[in-house]
Structure 1
Amino acid sequence: MFGITPEIWFVYGLILLAIILFVNKRISFDITSLILLAILVVSGILTPEEGLSGFSNPATVTIACMFILSEGLRQTGALDIVGDYFFELGKLNYRLAICIIMLVIGVISAFINNTAAVAIFIPVIISLSRDLDESPSKLLMPMSFAAMFGGVCTLIGTSTNLLVDSIARDNDLAGFGMFEFAPVGIIFFAAGFIYIFTMGMNLIPERRKDESLTDTFKMQSYLTDVILQPNSPFVDTPLKDTKLIQDLDLDIVEVFDTKGNTKQDRYSVNLQAKDVLRIRGSVKELNKLLNREDVLIKPSKHWEDKDFELGNAQLVEAVLAPESSFEGKKLQDLNLFHQYEAMVLAIRQKGKVQQEHLSEIRLQSGTSLLLYAKKERVNDIKTAEEFVLATEIEVPEYKTKKIPVALGIIAGVVGLAAFGILPIVATAICGVILMILSGCITNEEAYQSINWKVIFLLGGVLPLGIAMQKTGAAQVLVDVLITQLESLGPRAVLSAFFFLSMMLTNIISNNATAVLLAPIAIEAASSIGVNPTPMLVAVTLAASLSFMTPIGYQTNTMIFGPGQYTFTDFVKVGTPLNILFWIIGTFAIPYFWPF
Structure 2
Amino acid sequence: MTTAAIITICVIVLAIILFATEALPIDLVAISIMIILVLGGVITPEEGIEGFSNKATITVAFMFVLSAALLKTGALQVLAHRLSKIFRYKFNAGILMMMFMIAIISAFVNNTPVVAVFIPVVIQIAHASGQSPSKMLIPLSFASIFGGMCTLIGTSTNILVSGIAEKEGEEAISMFQMTPIAGVLLVVGVVYMSIFGIRLLPKSRRSKDLKSKFNVNNYITLVELLSNSDSIGKKIMDSELVTEFNIDIIEVRRNGNSFTLPPGDFELNKGDILKVRCDVEKLKSLKGKTKTLAVSPLKIGDSDLSGKNSALVEMVITSSSEIHGKTLKELDFRRRYRAIPLAIKHKEDIKHDDLYDVKLSAGDIILAEVKSHYVKELNKLEAGQNTPFVLLSENHITEFDKKKFGIVIGLISIMVVLASLGILDIMVGAISAVIILVLAKILNMQEIYEAINWKIIFLLVGALSLGLAINKTGLDLLIAEALVDQLAPMGIIAVISGLYLVTSLLTEVMSNNASAALMTPIAIAVAHTSGIEVLPFLVTVMIAASATFMTPIGYQTNTMVYSAGNYRFKDFFKVGIMLNFIFWVISSFMIPWYFNLV
Task: State the TM-score bracket (shorter-chain normalisation).
Answer: over 0.9
Answering whether residue 276 of structure 2 is matched by residue 279 of structure 1, we say yes
Structure 2 Cα separation of the partners of residues 80 and 329 of structure 1: 30
SS at the partner of 1:344? Answer: strand
Please identify, of 501-510 and 271-280, the stretch whose mean Cα deviation from structure 2 is larger. 271-280
Structure 1 Cα separation of the partners of residues 512 and 60 of structure 2: 14
Contact map agreement 2:250 2:260 (CA 8 A) in 1: no
The one-letter code sitting in structure 2 at the alignment partner of 1:544 is S
SS at the partner of 2:353? Answer: coil
Structure 1 residue aligned with 2:298: 299
Structure 1 Cα separation of the partners of residues 439 and 381 of structure 2: 27
Structure 1 Cα separation of the partners of residues 370 and 68 of structure 2: 24
Contact map agreement 1:417 1:423 (CA 8 A) in 2: yes
Matches within 5 A, 1:527-566: 527-566=529-568
The one-letter code sitting in structure 2 at the alignment partner of 1:572 is K
SS at the partner of 1:328? Answer: coil
Q: Deviations over 1:246-273 (max 9, x none)?
A: 5435321222343343357532232344
SS at the partner of 1:299? Answer: coil
Structure 1 residue aligned with 2:167: 170
Q: 1:280 to 1:481 in 2, by over 3 A?
A: same
Answering whether residue 469 of structure 2 is matched by residue 459 of structure 1, we say no
Contact map agreement 2:311 2:370 (CA 8 A) in 1: yes
Structure 2 residue aligned with 1:310: 308
How far is 1:94 from its partner?
A: 2.0
Number of corresponding residues? 590
Structure 1 residue aligned with 2:332: 335
SS at the partner of 2:222? Answer: strand
SS at the partner of 1:318? Answer: strand
Structure 2 Cα separation of the partners of residues 319 and 443 of structure 1: 27
The one-letter code sitting in structure 1 at the alignment partner of 2:564 is P
Answering whether residue 417 of structure 2 is matched by residue 419 of structure 1, we say no
Structure 1 Cα separation of the partners of residues 422 and 164 of structure 2: 19
Contact map agreement 1:318 1:368 (CA 8 A) in 2: yes
Q: Deviations over 1:298-344 (max 9, x none)?
A: 4337969x842522x32111112114343333333332113222221
Structure 2 Cα separation of the partners of residues 357 and 267 of structure 1: 19
Q: 1:203 to 1:301 in 2, by over 3 A?
A: farther
Answering whether residue 235 of structure 2 is matched by residue 238 of structure 1, we say yes
Structure 2 residue aligned with 1:441: 443
Structure 2 residue aligned with 1:372: 369
For structure 1, the 5+ residue unaligned runs are: none
Matches within 5 A, 1:382-393: 382=382, 383=384, 385-393=387-395
Contact map agreement 1:235 1:272 (CA 8 A) in 2: yes
The one-letter code sitting in structure 2 at the alignment partner of 1:317 is E
Structure 1 residue aligned with 2:134: 137
Answering whether residue 196 of structure 2 is matched by residue 199 of structure 1, we say yes
Matches within 5 A, 1:33-182: 33-182=30-179
Structure 2 Cα separation of the partners of residues 539 and 116 of structure 1: 24
How far is 1:477 from its partner?
A: 0.9
Contact map agreement 1:253 1:278 (CA 8 A) in 2: yes
How far is 1:234 from its partner?
A: 3.4
Structure 2 Cα separation of the partners of residues 133 and 336 of structure 1: 35
Structure 2 Cα separation of the partners of residues 181 and 229 of structure 1: 72
Contact map agreement 1:93 1:132 (CA 8 A) in 2: no
Structure 1 residue aligned with 2:13: 16
The one-letter code sitting in structure 1 at the alignment partner of 2:491 is G
Structure 2 Cα separation of the partners of residues 372 and 109 of structure 1: 33
Structure 1 Cα separation of the partners of residues 243 and 36 of structure 2: 48
1:473 pairs with 475, 492, 497, which one? 475
Contact map agreement 1:263 1:269 (CA 8 A) in 2: no
Q: 1:50 to 1:231 in 2, by over 3 A?
A: closer
Structure 2 Cα separation of the partners of residues 36 and 235 of structure 1: 55
2:206 pairs with 184, 206, 209, which one? 209
Please identify, of 183-192 and 167-176, the stretch whose mean Cα deviation from structure 2 is larger. 167-176
Answering whether residue 203 of structure 2 is matched by residue 223 of structure 1, we say no
Q: 1:218 to 1:381 in 2, by over 3 A?
A: farther
Structure 1 Cα separation of the partners of residues 71 and 15 of structure 2: 34
User: For the aligned residues, what is the CA RMSD?
Assistant: 2.2
How far is 1:358 from its partner?
A: 1.9
Q: Structure 1 length normalisation: TM-score? A: 0.94
Structure 2 Cα separation of the partners of residues 396 and 524 of structure 1: 49
Q: 1:401 to 1:227 in 2, by over 3 A?
A: farther
Please identify, of 445-454 and 39-48, the stretch whose mean Cα deviation from structure 2 is larger. 39-48
Structure 1 Cα separation of the partners of residues 66 and 357 of structure 2: 38
Please identify, of 64-73 and 318-327, the stretch whose mean Cα deviation from structure 2 is larger. 318-327
The one-letter code sitting in structure 2 at the alignment partner of 1:490 is I
The one-letter code sitting in structure 2 at the alignment partner of 1:152 is M
1:255 pairs with 252, 256, 262, which one? 252
For structure 2, the 5+ residue unaligned runs are: none
2:584 pairs with 559, 582, 587, which one? 582
Contact map agreement 2:49 2:461 (CA 8 A) in 1: yes
Please identify, of 214-223 and 158-167, the stretch whose mean Cα deviation from structure 2 is larger. 214-223
How far is 1:590 from its partner?
A: 1.7
Structure 2 residue aligned with 1:408: 410
How far is 1:476 from its partner?
A: 0.8
Contact map agreement 1:262 1:310 (CA 8 A) in 2: no
The one-letter code sitting in structure 2 at the alignment partner of 1:308 is S
Please identify, of 183-192 and 228-237, the stretch whose mean Cα deviation from structure 2 is larger. 228-237
The one-letter code sitting in structure 1 at the alignment partner of 2:565 is G
Q: Deviations over 1:126-149 (max 9, x none)?
A: 111110111111110110111101
Contact map agreement 1:521 1:536 (CA 8 A) in 2: yes
Structure 2 residue aligned with 1:509: 511
Structure 2 Cα separation of the partners of residues 364 and 432 of structure 1: 31
2:28 pairs with 15, 31, 53, which one? 31
Q: 1:146 to 1:263 in 2, by over 3 A?
A: closer
Contact map agreement 1:73 1:440 (CA 8 A) in 2: no
Q: 1:294 to 1:455 in 2, by over 3 A?
A: closer
The one-letter code sitting in structure 2 at the alignment partner of 1:205 is P
Structure 1 Cα separation of the partners of residues 394 and 267 of structure 2: 34
How far is 1:431 from its partner?
A: 1.1
The one-letter code sitting in structure 2 at the alignment partner of 1:379 is N
The one-letter code sitting in structure 1 at the alignment partner of 2:522 is I
Q: Deviations over 1:465-509 (max 9, x none)?
A: 122222211111112112211101111111011111111001111
SS at the partner of 1:221? Answer: helix
Structure 2 Cα separation of the partners of residues 111 and 338 of structure 1: 38
Contact map agreement 2:222 2:300 (CA 8 A) in 1: no
The one-letter code sitting in structure 1 at the alignment partner of 2:505 is M
SS at the partner of 2:508? Answer: coil
1:362 pairs with 352, 359, 362, which one? 359
Contact map agreement 1:106 1:149 (CA 8 A) in 2: yes
The one-letter code sitting in structure 2 at the alignment partner of 1:378 is L
Please identify, of 268-277 and 218-227, the stretch whose mean Cα deviation from structure 2 is larger. 268-277
The one-letter code sitting in structure 2 at the alignment partner of 1:481 is L
Q: Structure 2 length normalisation: TM-score? A: 0.93
- Report % sequence identity: 38
Structure 2 Cα separation of the partners of residues 336 and 36 of structure 1: 32
Structure 1 Cα separation of the partners of residues 412 and 306 of structure 2: 41
Contact map agreement 1:119 1:389 (CA 8 A) in 2: no
The one-letter code sitting in structure 2 at the alignment partner of 1:88 is K
Contact map agreement 2:135 2:201 (CA 8 A) in 1: yes
Structure 2 residue aligned with 1:523: 525
The one-letter code sitting in structure 2 at the alignment partner of 1:479 is E
How far is 1:16 from its partner?
A: 1.7
Structure 2 Cα separation of the partners of residues 263 and 50 of structure 1: 56
